[in-house]
Amino acid sequence: MAKLKQLFLVGCLLAFPASLGSAHPAGGDVAFKHLAEAAFNVQQNANEATPRAAVIARECAPPEVINSLPMQQVPGSILMTVTATIDGKPLKLLVDIGRMSTELWNTTATNLHLAVQPGRRGWDFGGRYSEGSAHLQSFTMGSMQGGGFNIQVGLDPNFAPAPFDGVMRTDIMWRYDIDLDFAHQRMNYLSPERCKGAGVYWSPTTITSVPIIAYTGMEYGDRSPIPRFSTTYVPVTLDGHPIIALLDTSSDRTFLNPDVAMKLFGLKPDSSEAGNINDSGTLIKAGLHRFSTLTFGGLTASNPQIAIPFDIMSQSSEITHVSKTARDTFNLHEIIPDMVIGMDVLRHSHLYLSFRNSRIYISAAGDGPALNPSPIKQSWFNGDR
């Protein structure tokens, strides 16, 4: 816990010169208030321009808009999808900023007549194991196109009918800045910002910045035999306890690792109201508990209802090890992050992710206009392929 506190202090808010302000997101039952004493002030007196200022302005020019995509809300859900054309067929992909490997469902791969081969191995957050991979000839999304790479193929959602065909993850995001404007349902790809705040185009009343933390869960040797690699871990506090949490736009609920829930709060899922989590097409049984405050990024969610998954045993990888000592099954608490911040909270925000600079800008949803990009030229996908 001392290590977590240290990480949280390192992850303090970045301050920018501005007056105090507050922002309240439109809609929803989660009340937000800003804790930071800073907001961006992008106004500059042109009469005071100097050659040095002109150089700084040139170096800090706004990022170029590479792609702008409409996000569609999944019917009956708060999750969002975008449309991609894969091998000539339009598909709906769930947006997930937390994990690394974009994937299609088995049924989707079958419908595309893809040859599925053994590939990346792993468990989803419901403990389901998969290891499929398939080669794509073409991949087009908005103004961006690519192809000739392998994509992960995972198990179909464990509920029917599935309203999306797979999940788009950060392997096709991290070389860009990613702007998620939930209020206007737009996902924008931009070139990486060259200086702090250069990509904040919507001029919100207030905005804060949080660091992306390098974290794998291996810090807890007694309960983490496998690393939990993800890309958007941030410091949060839950009822006064510092925790490293994953931002996950493919989860409809915020949830807490059952081991963390027990150790920090003495809570068990079976002692709470019954509920479910829909995370990336996996339905996870959980208990629901009402906490007092969840704070991150200068924002506070009051009285959030947070799920605690049942600590079930994962599916077996069915891999036989010569040593006979390596495990092929795990409890769920050994697989999932310490905490996941889902769309029940994130949809009330506007997120701008600067992967190259390891920071995320956060303002209230709807606090500023939508991006109005000029005509965007076609470009080739620059992904982790």
pLDDT, tens digit, 9 for 90 and up, residues 223-250 = 554 555 557 999 999 999 999 999 999 9
Can you read off the two tokens belonging to residue 172? 């096709």
The rounded distance, in Å, linking the Cα atoms of 214 and 229 is 9
> What pLDDT shows up at residue 49?
40
For 281, half-sphere exposure in the C-beta direction (CA atoms, 13 angstrom radius) is: 28
Q: What is the CATH number of domain 65-178?
A: 2.40.70.10
pLDDT at 20 over 90: no
> How high does pLDDT run on average in the chain?
78
Q: When comparing pLDDT for 75 and 44, which is higher? A: 75
The rounded distance, in Å, linking the Cα atoms of 195 and 163 is 39
**Strand partners for 68:** 188
pTM over 0.85: no
Which residue blocks in the chain are alpha helix, DSSP H? Answer: 2-10, 51-59, 106-111, 258-265, 343-346
| Alpha-carbon Rg for the chain in angstroms | 21
Distances (CA, A) of 232 to 176, 274, 359: 14, 28, 9
* Cβ atoms of residues 277 and 308 within 8 Å: no
Helices and strands per DSSP (H, E), number in the chain: 5, 26
Judging by beta carbons within 10 Å of its beta carbon (0-12, 13-18, 19+), is residue 376 exposed, middle or buried? middle
Is the torsion defined by CA of 29, 353, 195, 15 positive or negative? positive
State phi, psi for 206 to the nearest 5 degrees: -140, 155
What's the rounded mean pLDDT across residues 277-296? 89
For 189, residues 6+ apart whose C-beta sits below 8 A from its C-beta are 65, 66, 67, 68, 69, 142, 144, 173, 176, 177, 178, 179
Domain coordinates in residue numbering, the chain = 2-42+189-364, 65-178
The rounded distance, in Å, linking the Cα atoms of 312 and 330 is 9
The rounded distance, in Å, linking the Cα atoms of 294 and 307 is 13
| Helix/strand/coil for 335 | coil
What's the rounded mean pLDDT across residues 361-371? 95
What's the maximum distance between 2 C-alpha atoms anywhere in the chain? 74
Pick the CATH number of 2-42+189-364 from 3.40.1190.20, 2.40.70.10, 3.40.50.1980, 3.40.50.1440: 2.40.70.10
The rounded distance, in Å, linking the Cα atoms of 106 and 89 is 15
The rounded distance, in Å, linking the Cα atoms of 212 and 359 is 5
What's the rounded mean pLDDT across residues 145-164? 84
**Strand (E) or helix (H) holding 24:** none
Report strand pairing: 282-290 vs 359-364: unpaired
Is the torsion defined by CA of 309, 313, 316, 322 positive or negative? positive
Q: Which of 57-61, 65-69, 313-317 has the lowest mean pLDDT?
A: 313-317
The rounded distance, in Å, linking the Cα atoms of 4 and 25 is 29
- Among 49-58, 59-68, 79-88, the range with the most confident prediction by mean pLDDT is 79-88
